[in-house]
Structure 1
Amino acid sequence: MRVLSLADLPHRRVDAHHSLGFSVGAFGLCADAHLVAVSLAPGGIIGRHPAEGRQLLVVLSGEAQVAGYDGTVRTIGVGEAAVWEPGEAHETRSPTGLVAMIVEGDVDIGAPGEQIDRGDV
């Protein structure tokens, strides 16, 4: 077993799409998806852009204000996630700052409880 500290990953700042206070650190990659740790400083923004593939943003600490194709803003917190479909324009903001994990690519994300790993039951 290995233990990863998402805070200790090398992060790079991202300014694309008018983002502000946004950095990413990659920690997983496969042919169909990638996993990154993201942080947003207080008042930070991940600017509006299209999702490259299905994208899942899981809040680990802090709060996120997320919006999808229609611009409706929802606030999500620790233990909650936003899912955007391939090509869907979306944006994330955080007035207080946040740490999150993003999984993006060819992944099935069903309704809660719909996806069960039979190896664990």
Structure 2
Amino acid sequence: MEVYNFSKKEGKKITKFDSNFIMSRIIQTEQKAHIGCMYLEENGVVGYHQAPVPQLLLIMNGEGYVRGEEEKYFKVQSGDAVFWKKGEWHETKTGQGLTAIVIESEQLDPSSFMSIQK
């Protein structure tokens, strides 16, 4: 499991075409990708299971805890991105609730755009 950061402070100011916004790049895919939005309510859980393909979990709102194959949980919050490789066992849970975007594809490389958290 790897944890990345895509928060506003990681972004770049865009001014092309008279624009004025900040863009945090996340990923680019060469193969088909499934993108979904997960809403975990209070005490919600995505149960412990193996990733059928590489998965990237982008925490948009709220906070929770994630784990990989070890039974050690890491706190995640808005702006964090968690990456699990194909076949990696993992779980996500929250006490207060969280909303996350999930990107799944056979070929994902989040390190090409985002910085890994230490």
* Paired position in structure 2 for 1:99: 99
- Taking only aligned residues, the RMSD between alpha carbons, in angstroms, comes to 1.9
Which string of whole-angstrom CA distances, capped at 9 and with x for unpartnered residues, describes residues 13-43 of structure 1? xxxxxxxxxxxxxxxxx96320010010111
- The answer on whether the counterparts of 2:56 and 2:81 sit within 8 Å (CA) in structure 1 is yes
CA distance in 2, matches of 1:44, 1:115: 29
Deviations 1:64-103 (A, max 9, x none): 2000111220011001011000011100001010110000
Q: Which amino acid aligns with 1:97?
A: G
SS at 2:75 equivalent: strand
What is the aligned-residue identity percentage? 31
Structure 2 counterparts to residues 8-87 of structure 1, below 5 A: 32-87=32-87
Q: Which amino acid aligns with 1:57?
A: L
CA distance in 2, matches of 1:77, 1:66: 10
Conserved 8 A contact 1:54-1:104? yes
Structure 2 runs not aligned, ≥5 long: 1-29
Cross-structure match for 2:24:
none
Check conservation: 1:52, 1:105, Cα contact below 8 A: no
Q: TM-score, normalised by structure 2?
A: 0.66
Contact 2:58 2:102 in 1 (8 A): yes
The alignment status of 1:115 with 2:113, answered yes or no, reads yes
| 1:60 partner SS | strand
Moved over 6 A (4+): none
Unaligned runs of 5+ residues in structure 1 are 1-29, 117-121
Work out whether residues 63 and 76 of structure 1, in 8 Å CA contact, stay in contact via their aligned partners in 2.
Answer: yes
